[in-house]
Amino acid sequence: MLQSLMEFTSPVRRGYRDINWRHPMKPTAGTLYLVTVSLLLVACDPAISIRQIKASNGTSAPITIDVKTEHPLVGSTWYVPQVKITNGSDSPITITSVELAAKRSTYANRPRQPGSYPAAVLPGKTETLDIWFDLAGDVKETFFQQPVALRAHYRSRGQDETAQVSVIGGHLDASAP
């Protein structure tokens, strides 16, 4: 039975002379498709780099924020940076919230893990914050035109304080870490 099935489906039995026969236009069409897609990817900017450009605390306490360079795809409507905060003061601080202040909007942090805030940072320690921003537009609209402020609101010695850094988007820089 298997033998008769193989004979029935064999290309030679169906009238083909050369089982490796290919249409002469297939390689040309495939090559044209590959070249077109390659040119589109080079011409379009598929991702941007969002990087920290400066730090400013707005307070005398030595609280620093470090935002790792991100490479989100253009069209993404979220920004999820790796953010570390260092408490260089001699007293503990409590991070109460984080926000992103752009020209047109201010975005509240939507942490991925419930209970991420308030977050304590002991003196001399560095902590990684749970950050997720849902944007009204895509990342290119939000970050490409001008710097955006990432603000960390915290409590220290019974007072509410704010530390912030500026981040900006630019053309993809794959060499940035």
Instruction: Write down all domains in the chain, each with its CATH number in brackets.
Output: 2-43 (no CATH), 48-171 (2.60.40.1150)
Kindly tell me if the per-residue pLDDT of 56 is higher than 80: no
Q: In this predicted structure, what is the pLDDT of residue 3?
A: 54
How confident is the model over 56-85, as a mean pLDDT?
82
pLDDT in tens, 104-160: 899 999 999 999 999 999 999 999 999 999 999 888 887 777 899 999 999 999 999
Instruction: Categorize the per-residue pLDDT at 42 as very low, low, confident or very high, splitting at 50, 70 and 90.
Output: very low
CA distance 51 to 68: 7
Instruction: Categorize the per-residue pLDDT at 27 as very low, low, confident or very high, splitting at 50, 70 and 90.
Output: low
CA distance 135 to 147: 15
Higher pLDDT, 2 or 123: 123
Give me the chain's average pLDDT, please. Answer: 79
pLDDT in tens, 80-110: 999 999 999 999 999 999 999 998 899 999 9
CA distance 149 to 101: 5
Kindly tell me if the per-residue pLDDT of 39 is higher than 50: no
Kindly tell me if the per-residue pLDDT of 60 is higher than 80: no
Q: Say what percent of the chain tops pLDDT 90.
A: 46
* DSSP states of 48-116: EEEEEEEEE-SSSS-EEEEE--B-PBTT--EE---EEEEE-SSS-EEEEEEEEE-SS-EEE---SSTT-
Q: In this predicted structure, what is the pLDDT of residue 31?
A: 63
How confident is the model over 65-70, as a mean pLDDT?
91
* DSSP states of 1-23: -HHHHHHHH-TTTTT-S-TT---
